[in-house]
Amino acid sequence: MPEQPKQELRVNAKPEELQGRYANIVSVTSQEREVIVDFVNRVGPEGQLVSRVVLNRFTAQELSEVLLQAIRQWEKIRYEIPNVPPEKT
């Protein structure tokens, strides 16, 4: 099966949506056909739901793979020991 050319996707967003939201807790639940991701900002004993995203299982799998790849890249940049030649004595 030949590969389909990638299509450009234009995404519209309001300026306040581009600012993003801070979440320090994530909760994931799944049902038969969807995965529900809740992002929560917890300060003290209470938390505020920041966003809820409902994904089909294909998009959830893609998100999982992209997040893992981003984390591995971040760790490689920050924790990889540089290849420094040994000092001559």
Residue 12 lies in a domain: no
Q: What is the pLDDT of residues 50-65, one digit of tens each?
A: 999 999 999 999 999 9
Structure confidence by residue, pLDDT tens digits, 27-40: 999 999 999 999 99
Angle at 82 between CA 81 and CA 87, to 5 degrees: 110
Residues 6+ apart with CB under 8 A from 36: 28, 29, 30, 52, 53, 54, 55
Residue 14 covered by a domain:
no
Containing domain of residue 50, as a range? 20-79
Position 56 in a domain: yes
In a domain, 86, yes or no: no
Residue 52 forms part of a structural domain: yes
- Residue 20 zone, left/alpha/beta (φ > 0; ψ -120 to 50; rest): left
Total number of domains in the chain: 1
Reported as type and span, the H/E element at residue 68 is helix 57-79
- Specify the pTM: 0.71
* Residue 5, domain member (yes or no): no
What is the per-residue pLDDT across 7-18, written as a single tens digit (0 to 9) for each? 898 999 999 889
Q: What is the pLDDT of residue 84?
A: 64
User: Quick check: is 2 in a domain?
Assistant: no
Angle made by CA atoms 59, 40, 53, in degrees to the nearest 5: 25
